[in-house]
């Protein structure tokens, strides 16, 4: 299947709470995940919430990587959205899985902007959701 973009929607469970509540650490990890995936980083912005939690985004030439954390629940929701064939969002997923010390995860992979094989135009069905992968 040929698509304009791949979007991994990841839920990480039972993560390290201290890491999830550290905006500087989260920013470093998200930027490194982008680099490891082969992405070209444009900019990043991260915000710390009171009393806890971090939200942030790494804008890449190929789309974005975003995160929101709930340290009190040891949980992080992450979007890894990449366009083109030069970036592998699965490498970013694997890196973050290790660095967040996640004990469990769930992933949905969505193909965005599916192209018609014959015309290379966006097909009427432009989104395809792959089955959930979990550990």
Q: What is the pLDDT of residues 37-77, one digit of tens each?
A: 999 999 999 999 999 999 999 999 999 999 999 999 999 99
Half-sphere exposure of 125 (CA within 13 A, CB side): 7
**Catalytic site residue 47?**
no
Q: Does the global pTM surpass 0.85?
A: yes
Contacts 24+ apart (CB under 8 A), 67-70: 67/26, 67/30, 69/15, 69/20, 69/21, 69/26, 70/20
Residue with the larger pLDDT of the pair 85 and 17: 17
Please enumerate in sequence order all residues whose Cβ is within 8 A of that of 70, keeping only pairs 6 or more positions apart, or say none: 20, 52, 53, 76
**Catalytic site residue 68?**
yes
- What are the structural domain ranges in the chain? 3-124
Q: How confident is the model at residue 121 (pLDDT cuts 50, 70, 90)?
A: confident
Q: How many residues does the chain have?
A: 135
Quick one: average pLDDT of 12-33? 98
Quick one: average pLDDT of 117-121? 84
Class assignment of domain 3-124? alpha beta
Tell me which of 7, 15, 63, 64 is the catalytic residue.
63
Q: How many helices (H) and strands (E) does the chain have?
A: 3, 8
* Summary mean pLDDT of the chain: 93
Tell me which of 73, 83, 86, 134 is the catalytic residue.
83
Instruction: Give 63's DSSP letter.
Output: E
Tell me which of 37, 68, 73, 134 is the catalytic residue.
68
**Catalytic site residue 15?**
no
What pLDDT score was predicted for residue 114? 85
């Amino acid at each position: 299947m040929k698509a304009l973009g791949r979007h991994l929607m990841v839920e990480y469970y039972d993560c390290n709470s201290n890491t999830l509540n550290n905006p500087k650490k989260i920013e470093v990890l998200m930027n490194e995940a982008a680099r490891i995936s082969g992405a070209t980083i444009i900019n990043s912005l991260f915000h710390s919430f009171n009393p806890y939690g971090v939200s942030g985004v790494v804008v890449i030439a190929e789309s974005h990587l975003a995160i929101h954390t709930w340290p009190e629940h040891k949980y992080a929701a992450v979007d890894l959205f990449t366009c083109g064939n030069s970036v592998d969002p699965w490498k970013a997923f694997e890196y973050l899985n290790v660095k967040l010390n996640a004990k469990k995860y769930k992933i949905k992979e969505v193909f965005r902007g599916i192209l018609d094989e014959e015309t290379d135009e966006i097909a009427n069905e432009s989104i395809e959701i792959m089955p959930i992968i979990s550990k």
